[in-house]
Amino acid sequence: MDARALHLHTYFLFPFSVDKEVVIEDHQRVWSKHSYWANGLDEWIADHGGGAGSPVAGKLGRWQRDSYRRFDMDSYAYQDMVFFHPFVRRVFFDTGSTFSAEAGGSENMLRVYTIPLMHLGETGRKLIFEASDARGRSAAVTVTDLRLFMFANGIGILTIGVESTHLRISQALWINEMMRKVYPSSGRQLREGRTPNRMALRLEGGGEPQTIVEETFQRCVLKSYLPPLSKVITELLYFLNYSTQEFEPLLDERMIVCTYLSVDPKSVEPEFDQSEEYEMLMSRLMYVDREGEGYRYESEFTREAMRKQTYRRWAHQGTLYGFTSYSNVTLVMGRFDCDEHQLGEGFLVHRMFMSRYYLTVVVALFYRATLLDFSERTALVSRALGHRFGSADFTDEDTRMVARLMAEVQLFSNYWYFSELANKDEEIEHFRMQCEEFRVPSMKAELEEELEKLNLTLERIYQARNTESINRLAMLSMILGGGAMITGYFGMNFGQEFERFFFSPPNKGWAHWVSITAVSLIVVGSVLFTIFLVVSNWSDYRTILLPSRQKQAGSLRRTLGIEEDEDGGAG
């Protein structure tokens, strides 16, 4: 029996890091008006990169702010937000300026944007995402959602939502496995059909099909450590210039797959959802593999891994949830009434998949992306300081560089990071399982340990510098104090014989001139030695004597010798 899917709904999630210093430097016209990064995002995205220069912006429309505006109980905002703790609602939901007065007069530190696709339906058109490989296999799915999350720390998450109905299970598996690719890891992958040799976004219906962007991966070269991203990604992020390193991907050649699949009960044997074959299908979805016989990996190894990665609270109804480091899976058998949840209101599991499950994956991925970004920046800061370890040649800018990094990590830990997001056990358990698979707790602990060591190293270096400065000050005090004592003693008027011998000597007064010469040499020598010490250690005294304004922080990532690429894509 050829197993079929009633409904496939997948979000492909692409996390990336914006180099804020590079963007601010490259777009001074926008960023000179804004002292805070998040406040300039709306103007920057609306103003930069659109128009005729971008096929996506020209044919689909520009990214538009998509903050929540309705909060009645039938609105998406209400239904999404009530399942999360109040403090999470304030942080991870873009409410625009709706609650600005309650939030202390400022918006939150998240901006959400969308390219509306509903207007396409009014003209009878729809957006298609398609892929094909070297072995002649291909698939096309409807794009139903294009969404962009931009966080104040420079992390962004692009999500591409696609749907298809009444298709073979093998086709659904191929779609998830192939359409998540953003560049080939080798030419062999292209030749063997393990990576698409063509990906495209096109408009169809209501006239002639129109290709918006196409990627064939004909020329793939690493440039400045960055991989050759698909044009599908770079064109969707048209306001960012990939060739000048304004952003970089944070994962490998694959996007995160968040997928919902409903199996058609009529296409499989009765009790299929309680069989070993159902477990095999779940494993193929979780590990984003294509159709095949049995398990893709050694059976006992796979079963053991799935025991930890599969959530089975609703397994008796055929509903399984799976979590890996590169996927989030919701697998169900058909569509049915769930207790008192009527199918007429929409299938409960699919509604939860599109709302709270999707949002928890975005938050968990944001945590992972932020920690990966911090890991890279910690390494780059350490590299910048590395050549100075073992010496005292540190500057105040070095201290500020480490302080900025530590302040951002503290903001993440105290503002963004929560070990518990939701009010109910199921949502809590889903989120914790996903975070565990993303290795968020261990990465956070490792990052904090690395920063603590870096901070301790700087403290020791500056403590040594302060000790040297104090020693120099003590030596100067001793020299100048000794000179002052001698000159003071010589300048005291004892009268009688002392005055006649030193100040009013008879005849030539040799003692008078010898004393003046000796004291003068001591004074001049002390002053010259003081000047020498101050000049040779000017960096220690300059900040105190001549405080200057802090310079704009430069990019740690941008490298010299950037090769220009007109299209910014892989080919």
Condensed to tens digits (0 to 9), the pLDDT of residues 114-155 reads: 998 877 766 778 999 999 999 999 999 999 999 999 999 999
Average pLDDT over residues 422-432: 90
Token couple for 409: 């990590």
Supply the DSSP string of 84-128, one letter for each residue. Answer: B-HHHHHHHS--TTTTTTTTTSS--SEEEEE---HHHHHTT-EEE
Token couple for 150: 């931009």
Q: Long-range contacts for 559-565 (Cβ within 8 Å, ≥24 apart)?
A: 559/224, 559/225, 559/245, 561/224, 562/223, 562/224, 562/243, 562/244, 562/245, 563/223, 563/224, 563/243, 564/243, 565/223, 565/242, 565/243
Token couple for 5: 């899917």
Domain ranges of the chain: 368-463, 473-545
pLDDT of residue 43: 86
pLDDT of residue 405: 86
Q: Could you report how far apart the first and last alpha carbons of the chain are, in Å?
A: 41
> What is the CA 280 to chain-centroid distance, rounded?
34
Selection from 210, 248, 246, 244 nearest residue 229 by Cα: 248
pLDDT band, residue 235 (cuts 50/70/90): very high
* 3 state DSSP class of 70: coil
pLDDT of residue 567: 46
pLDDT band, residue 55 (cuts 50/70/90): confident
pLDDT of residue 182: 94
Task: Determine the Cα angle at 15 with ends 81 and 183, to 5°.
Answer: 145
Q: What CA–CA distances, in Å, run from 425 to 90, 329, 429, 431, 432?
A: 21, 18, 6, 10, 10
Helices 425-437 and 358-386, interaxial angle, to 10°? 30
Q: Chain-wide mean pLDDT for the chain?
A: 83
* Sole residue written with tokens 């692409």: 14
Contact (CB, 8 A) for 491 and 458: no
pLDDT band, residue 436 (cuts 50/70/90): very high
Neighbours of 512 (CB within 10 A): 14
Instruction: For residues 250 and 354, give the distance between their C-alpha atoms in angstroms, rounded to a whole number.
Output: 24
pLDDT of residue 560: 45
Token couple for 287: 């590990």
Token couple for 359: 């949002």
| DSSP state, residue 551 | P
pLDDT digits (tens, 9 = 90+) for 532-548: 767 776 666 665 555 55
- Please report which helix (H) or strand (E) contains residue 162, including its range: strand 155-168
* 3 state DSSP class of 326: coil
Is the predicted pLDDT of residue 47 greater than 80, yes or no?
no
pLDDT of residue 150: 95
Selection from 338, 324, 267 nearest residue 296 by Cα: 324
Is-above-0.85 flag for pTM?
A: no
Supply the DSSP string of 26-46, one letter for each residue. Answer: HTHHHHTT-SSGGGGHHHHHH
Give the type of residue at 70.
Answer: R
> What is the CA 200 to chain-centroid distance, rounded?
26
Sequence length of the chain is 571
Instruction: For residues 162 and 140, give the distance between their C-alpha atoms in angstroms, rounded to a whole number.
Output: 10
Contact (CB, 8 A) for 319 and 331: yes
3-state DSSP helix/strand/coil % of the chain, to nearest 5: 50, 20, 35
pLDDT of residue 561: 45
Q: 339: number of CA atoms within 13 Å, CB side?
A: 3
pLDDT digits (tens, 9 = 90+) for 346-403: 788 998 999 989 999 999 999 999 999 999 888 888 887 776 655 556 666 777 788 8
Is the predicted pLDDT of residue 344 greater than 50, yes or no?
yes
Helices 510-536 and 538-545, interaxial angle, to 10°? 80
Rg (alpha carbons) of the chain, rounded to whole number: 33
